[in-house]
Each structure stands twice: as C-alpha cells, then as structure tokens.
Amino acid sequence: MELKRVVVTGLGAVTPLGNDVPTTWNALLNGESGAGPITHFDASEFKTQFACEVKNFDPTAYFSVKEARKLDLYAQYAVASAKEGMDDSGLDLEKVNKDRAGVIFAAGIGGISTFEQEVGAYAKAPEKGPRFSPFFIPKMIADIAAGQLSMIYGFRGPNFGVVSACASSTHALIDAFNYIRLGKADVIIAGGAEAAIFPSGVGGFNAMHALSTRNDSPKTASRPFSASRDGFVMGEGSACLILEEMEHALARGAKIYAEVVGGGLSADAYHLTATHPEGLGAKLVMQNALEDAHMAPEEIDYINVHGTSTPVGDKSEAKAITEVFGAHAYDLNISSTKSMTGHLLGATGAVEALICVKSVENDVVPPTINHEEGDDDPEIDYKLNFTFNKAQKRVVNAALSNTFGFGGHNASIIVKKFVK
C-alpha cells in the first residue's frame, strides 16, 4: 500500500504571547515572555504565584454568552484556535466531503476549573444534597473539545481526544497524520488545548515541586538549559494545525505551509513524572521519528525541544540529542520556546509543532530566552547551539518537535519544506 502525503494548510493559535498566530509568532521572534502574576484566582498563599496566562481573551467573539457557559475555558481556547486554523485553510465547507473530514484534538487534563467549581460548591454545603450542573460532565471531560469542533464544522470522520499528559497534542497530530496517510480521511483538524492555571492545577504541580517558584521575577523564571533553572512555568492556550492529504490540498489550490513527514512514539518505562536520566525514551522517540520519515539525522536543521526548565529533563534531553545526532548535533539549532510561552501541558505539542512549521516557512529559529552568561550547568554541553536569547536566521528545511509527558509518554513529529 502506498501511503498518502500529508501537508499543513491552516494554522491557529491562542497562546500567552497572543491570541492569533501572527501575534504569537512575532512575540517569539522578539524573545518576549508571556509570564506574569496569576489573575485567574488569588494565588497569594501558593508557592508559585505566576504563570503564562492568555491575555484579553473574549469568548463572545466566538460564541454567545449562553453557549460560552456550556464550555470549559480549555474548550473555548480550542474553538478559537480551530476557527483561525479553518479560516486560514480556506476550506470550503460546501465542497468538503464531511464523511472524510475529522477532528483529533487533545487535552492533558481537560476541564479542571469546571471540576473545581462543581465539586467545590458541593463540598461547601453537602447537607443540601447534590446540585451539580447538567453541563458538569460534558464541560469537564478531556474529549469534548474534539466533539464540539466536529459539531461546529459538521465533520463526521475520525473524531476523538488524546490524553498522554504533556505529549497529548503531539500524539493527536501523529494520529491525524497516520489516518490521512492511510487514506482514512482527507482533512483533519488537529491540535490541543489546556486551561489548568487554577488552584488545583497550580497547587498540585507545586506539591510535586515541578513549578518554578521564582515569584520575584516571573518573566525570567523559565530558563531552560541554565544551571539556575528551578522548574517549569505553567502556560495555557491552544494550537490547531489543519492537516490535509496532499492531492486534496493541491486540487483546491490551497496554500501549503509544510509537509508532515514522520512521527515517533516511545515510552520511558521508568518513573511516574521524571524523564529517564540517560534520556533513553527521548533518544528512542527521535530515532523512531527519523526512521518513519526516512530521513538521516543530518537532514534536521532545527529541534524544538521539550526543554521545560526542570533540573533533570533538560540535561537528559540534551544528552539524547547528542547521542542521536552525533557530530551533526553541533550544526543544528535547538531552542525551547517554553522559555517564552511557558508549558502549555496538553497543548504544548501543537503549539511547538506550529512553531516548527513557521520556522520551516520563514527560515528563522526562535530563541531560548533567559540564559545569562556564566549560568552554565556542568552536565550540559554548551557547544550545542541552544539559540540563546536571540532568534537566528538560517535555512530550515526540516524541523523536529519533541514532547515528553508524565507517565513516560514521548512523541516527536517532523515537518519539512513542501516540494511536490
């Protein structure tokens, strides 16, 4: 069986750096941080009091107040990014075969604020009996963004959510890629969304000592590959990529941003939350992605790393890169855009795959910000080009994005310039 080719024809984003793709991309190239004090709730008693929140998001730009009440914030972000992606794709809904159009949209956690509100209200007055909203479950569950989008666009093809913690939306993209190249769909709205900057989200990650506690300097707290890194900065938002079968896209004269050429999957099989210290799962997942793409390591120009600014994760990923790419590791660019966006959990893979697509399109690599001279970790090889503090222009024919999730889930996806 000959596999179909899969291309990217639309992009959408709601991120801590901007509520659309152009604003987000410009902020990335300028090395801006999306971090600031938490406004979603009073975090004054929490160890971490800052995060990378979405700013000035207006749900009524996308649906009525009544409809907005039926959606958790994470699903609202999903609808917003998908609308931009669909508009960008130029797909004519009157001409698309909706039986062969699908939605695969991920969340790592789902409607955690909805859960807090509903269960919290019951916990305050259990003697009054249960008074749960009929929308409690459909707002909370992690698949509902995919379901909502299928209803909005009438897409009746493959439709589900994916949950693999921080690797969720990369898995969603790889699933969409696979269904299209296997001939099971013509077009799929793929991506992820997350909105977990609420008491239980921040408190839970704080209890694990996973978050930075640099409350005196939020904008410099996410500092991947620096010796003084002390944990990740939580982000929120959504990103959407419209994936389409190549001939389908060419037949309608679509703009093609890039081609998806490979996806890799692996597991650490090591620890609930920590990455393998030797980077074994990271090494395997990159090798699997390269093999799937039929590419040599030397063909990759840019790696958007998982790079969460955690003590163990950053050094093990850097080690895995040197082992997979050998001498070429020193010729490619590496950057962690989480230094600017924060860690969007289940949405992070989609955001970073989108960044890879934009990098391939524009031949520029966004930076890893917040590294200071001398703040070097003796266990990290600084001969690697981490693209510190300033974007770098270079030809980017192919880019690889890594995402690693709690549970040891690893996913990597490769995009490259489209050549018919």
* Cβ-proximal residues to 332 (8 Å cutoff; 6+ apart), any chain: 300, 301, 302, 303, 325, 385
Residue with tokens 């640099």: 214
Token readout for 381 is: 């090889």
In angstroms, how far is the first alpha carbon of the chain from the final one? Answer: 20
Active site residues: 166, 306, 343
Rounded to an integer, what distance in angstroms lies between the CA atom of residue 60 and that of residue 50? Answer: 26
> Of 366, 369, 317, 310, whose CA–CA distance to 339 is shortest?
369
Polymer length of the chain: 420
Rounded to an integer, what distance in angstroms lies between the CA atom of residue 63 and that of residue 130? Answer: 29
* Cβ-proximal residues to 89 (8 Å cutoff; 6+ apart), any chain: 9, 10, 242, 244, 254
HSE, side-chain direction, 13 A CA sphere, residue 209: 5
Element (H, E) at 193: strand 187-194
Token readout for 346 is: 């289940």
Rounded to an integer, what distance in angstroms lies between the CA atom of residue 144 and that of residue 115? Answer: 14
Rounded to an integer, what distance in angstroms lies between the CA atom of residue 86 and that of residue 149? Answer: 11
DSSP assigned state of 218: G
Cα separations in angstroms, 405 against 87, 192, 359: 31, 14, 24
* Cβ-proximal residues to 241 (8 Å cutoff; 6+ apart), any chain: 8, 10, 11, 85, 173, 190, 191, 350, 353, 354, 357
φ, ψ for residue 258, nearest 5 deg: -170, 170
* Cβ-proximal residues to 130 (8 Å cutoff; 6+ apart), any chain: 122
Rounded to an integer, what distance in angstroms lies between the CA atom of residue 96 and that of residue 65? Answer: 30
